[in-house]
Structure 1
Amino acid sequence: MSREAIKTIILIILVAFSLLLTLALWNYQPNLETVDQGDGLIEETDIGGSEKNVRKLLAPEQIIYHNDGTHYGYKNQEYIEEAYRRMQYWSLFNISVSEAEIPEEEGSLEIIFPSTLNSESIRNIFPIENQEVTLPSLSFDRAFVQWKGGEAEIRFLTPEGGQMLEASIRPGDMTAITQEVDDDSMWEEHTMFQQDEDRRIYLPAERKEVPKDVVVTETLPSKPLKNVLFEDPTVVKQFPLSGGDLRHSDGLSRMDLIAGQKKMRYLNLVTENSSQSTSAFNPEEVLQESVSFVNNHYGFTDPFRVRNVRSAYGDVSFDMYYNNRPILKDSENFTGINVRFEEGILQEYKRPMVSINPYQSEADAPGENQVSTLVSGKTVETVIIDSPKYDKGEITDIEIGYKLVSQGGGFSNYYDLIPAWFIQVNDEWKELKDVDTTVRRGGGV
């Protein structure tokens, strides 16, 4: 065989080998493991909730209609939510400041918010015609609305405040409300606790039926929170705590999963011992910053509302709601959100690590839902006044809310949601246990 023939054969072999390698590369599928996004290489920061605006979170706790010396409240909590939705279209103008004065109660509405708010929060509730107007730094926890003839006005104040902010409302904006107050089927009589014009606590005069329920918790992911709360999640170490709880720490801050891992508590260790006790934010900034922070990781995983804004401490708390009523007691203390800033830096964050959903069993049938019949507000007042256990002067609010009772002593995901009367003392809610409730099923006594 000649040299040229050998070269030709070698060249053909090389070309064929090259084609085989090319084909192999085209068809090769590497066996690579998917990178765990939750480990921080690709930051996942969504815990599965939703974003909420401040307006939605500032829903009033009560709306009271005063007429002929009698106080009336909406029969159903849903009516309050619907009325509040309509109020958000009221256009305010002619804003001014004057000496605080609670208007005559004849034909007026009293809108009661669950927390004392700064006047800047008014922008989050109502549209203001002149957006350039400067609102003075006043506080309010309620608004009084009056209308007569072709005029309507609203006043924002606290009962103990020296000044109030007042504004005019377009009479046309009031049409739905003025028609609604004439519908007796929507209202029930309320009584003012101890006739105290300073605290202005209103209670339903008659017994109140409130739905009970059974709910089940669903665990929320913790890795997105680790990505949110730690500057470098890859250096975070995990340590076991007693009772199956867990601690995550990078040496500068820590995130604990406690209460059977149903609650998260984050603490910034760098500023833990700081001597500063005030926030660099004003009250409105504290609220906005807290809501924005929770929204950034879709942290409103259940219906929440603002419960308390303590601007001096940079502290905002949110209560979980069910059937438009707050959950004010749970044995493991995991249903509330609390955000605290110090000098503009996140200092502490506490929140549920579960969401709550109604439990539906195959045995459930229409008309079989349970309700609790709670004693009247008049009975509640009598019990409080007659009992030596309560300091009447320290009570700042009285409300019907829910208590969450575990069906398995804290080890179960199933809970009874039971309505009860609560009193508020020093910003803490306590169940009023001295009153009886009767439970009925499906309309039977």
Structure 2
Amino acid sequence: MKKESVKSAILTALIIISLLLTWNMWTYQPTLFDAKKETDVYEVMPITNTIKKYYEVIKPQQLFIHDGENHFSTMDASHSNDLWMKMQSWEYSDLESGVETFSSGENLKEIQKNSIELRFLNEIPMKTFQTMLEWDADTENVQFDRIYLKAGETGGIQSVYFVSYDKMRYVESSVNNNSEATQKVKQLFNDRNNLEKYYSFNISEGKEIFLPVNEPKMVKHQYKVEEIAGSRFRDALFSNSSVIKQDSITSKNSYTDAISLLDIYPEQHRVYYVNPAVDDSVPLEASTLVDQSIKFLNQHGGWTDEYMLFDIDDKENKISYIMQIHSIPVIPFDEYPQTMIIQKWGQNEAASYERPSYRIDFEINSNNEIMLMSGKKVEELLKANNDIDKEDISNIYIAYQLENVENQGIVNVTPVWCIEMNNGKLKTFKDEIVQSGGNANGME
């Protein structure tokens, strides 16, 4: 009996221990600290809440109206912006034929005659344009930097030509809902005499640039500029701010998570982010660069000002956007040498990202009108300058520069003539031509 009693006691003890362990397992709850440690999710904090659509950053920089030998344009971007907006709702037909070529300027003049021209700063992938419109057409490897809308054609058909000027190629389409399109084109074409007169300047063989006949009247603005705190870029570009280390020296503030590096240069008003782990050696399609770069900027709120597509380099996987004020490009100058957003891409991630660390806040004054040189004066200066190879000039247009004034955080926004070279470098000139700095990659 004694032996049986011991067995019963042991069995009872085991049952009690088992019940206690089971109870603890059922009722156990980890502490809030431990649970958070295992499941922590860190969210990116965007710099702004601005989301841009493709057509808001991919848009024409100049509008010209061609009436035989007469040409017209304006610095008022409302005409081109309104037309570009309406073009987003047009229904485009299949291409009339495959890719065509033109062998001389005379061939292009046939397309140009009696037309409205929209000119872009860089070639746009047709695939990107189709994505904007949900237009399905076979346009493989087609790019364009000009669109011509023919005016006054018979039959009420609105023809549209997408032209690559440098490659001397084009494709032709038409608009299905042509009554609305032809009406808009006709209205703008008939209003041409209310615009400024321009003339054709053949800067080199086969290279035609349009310049104003008279001195353009421009407005010199004054704006308050806000410097964006480095912590805003840190929180927008790093997914886990708790592991970020900061290092400050005289010329810059640095943040790193042991993989990526973010440098803020206060005196240059510039931000530079690099992720060395990203492989950028595999070339990407131009349309892929556009798609990834816009999504990237949308995701972290990088559209702190108005920007326009400036350059796509699909050989280097680089893409850049230039700042605008009143739809006029802002080019590097003086204490504000950074006016572009420049990205280099790997397959799915940004390998590097360079941009301004400031934003244009609000306007203080815009009452100071100034007159720029006429196109003839610009032509005269260029012909007299032997340091510039005219073959290397891509375009000539009016731009803005930011000039710092004595009051901290206030800039004068000054209009200047700008020469864009084939390699993306920008030069400005008043009575003489000077290097403005910057190119498609934002470097000297």
Q: TM-score range by the shorter chain?
A: 0.7 to 0.9
Deviations 1:402-433 (A, max 9, x none): 0111114xx93111110000111220111114
Deviations 1:366-398 (A, max 9, x none): xx7002210111210111111123221111111
Partner of 1:166: 172
Which 5+ residue runs of structure 1 have no aligned equivalent?
1-39, 437-445
The answer to whether residue 311 in structure 2 is matched with residue 308 in structure 1 is yes
Partner of 2:74: 74
Q: 411, 418, 424: which one pairs with 1:422? A: 418
Distance 1:290 1:72, change over 3 A: same
Deviations 1:3-54 (A, max 9, x none): xxxxxxxxxxxxxxxxxxxxxxxxxxxxxxxxxxxxx975342212511011
The 8 Å contact of residues 277 and 312 in structure 1, kept in 2 or not, is answered as: no
Q: CA deviation at 1:141?
A: 0.8
The 8 Å contact of residues 216 and 357 in structure 1, kept in 2 or not, is answered as: yes
Q: 337, 355, 362: which one pairs with 1:351? A: 355
Counterparts of residues 234-383 of structure 1 (less than 5 Å) = 234-243=242-251, 245-260=252-267, 262-271=269-278, 277-279=281-283, 281-331=284-334, 332-360=336-364, 369-383=367-381
Structure-2 separation of matches of 1:433 and 1:338: 28
The 8 Å contact of residues 193 and 203 in structure 1, kept in 2 or not, is answered as: yes
Q: Secondary structure of 1:381's partner? A: helix
Amino acid in structure 2 at the alignment position of 1:63: L
Structure-1 separation of matches of 2:58 and 2:281: 26
Distance 1:57 1:126, change over 3 A: same
Structure-1 separation of matches of 2:123 and 2:140: 15
The 8 Å contact of residues 210 and 371 in structure 1, kept in 2 or not, is answered as: yes
The 8 Å contact of residues 97 and 163 in structure 1, kept in 2 or not, is answered as: no
Q: Secondary structure of 2:370's partner? A: strand
How many residues of Structure 1 are paired with residues of Structure 2 in the alignment? 381
The answer to whether residue 182 in structure 2 is matched with residue 178 in structure 1 is no
Partner of 2:158: 152
Q: Which runs of 4+ in 1 moved over 6 A?
A: none
The 8 Å contact of residues 204 and 390 in structure 2, kept in 1 or not, is answered as: no
Deviations 1:272-312 (A, max 9, x none): xx6x6443x31111101000000001211111111111122
Partner of 1:85: 85
Counterparts of residues 86-235 of structure 1 (less than 5 Å) = 86-95=86-95, 96-101=97-102, 102-104=108-110, 105-124=112-131, 126=133, 128=135, 131=136, 133-147=137-151, 148-150=153-155, 151-161=157-167, 163-170=169-176, 171-172=178-179, 173-194=181-202, 198-235=206-243
Percent identical among aligned pairs is: 22
Structure-1 separation of matches of 2:347 and 2:383: 43
Deviations 1:60-94 (A, max 9, x none): 01121111212211352222212222222322103
Q: Secondary structure of 2:323's partner? A: strand
Partner of 2:45: 45
The 8 Å contact of residues 278 and 312 in structure 1, kept in 2 or not, is answered as: no
Amino acid in structure 2 at the alignment position of 1:327: V
Distance 1:69 1:125, change over 3 A: farther
Amino acid in structure 1 at the alignment position of 2:129: I
The 8 Å contact of residues 311 and 320 in structure 2, kept in 1 or not, is answered as: yes
Partner of 1:13: none
Distance 1:183 1:359, change over 3 A: closer
Partner of 1:404: 402
Distance 1:97 1:387, change over 3 A: same
Q: How well do the aligned residues superpose, as a CA RMSD in angstroms?
A: 2.4
The 8 Å contact of residues 118 and 138 in structure 1, kept in 2 or not, is answered as: yes
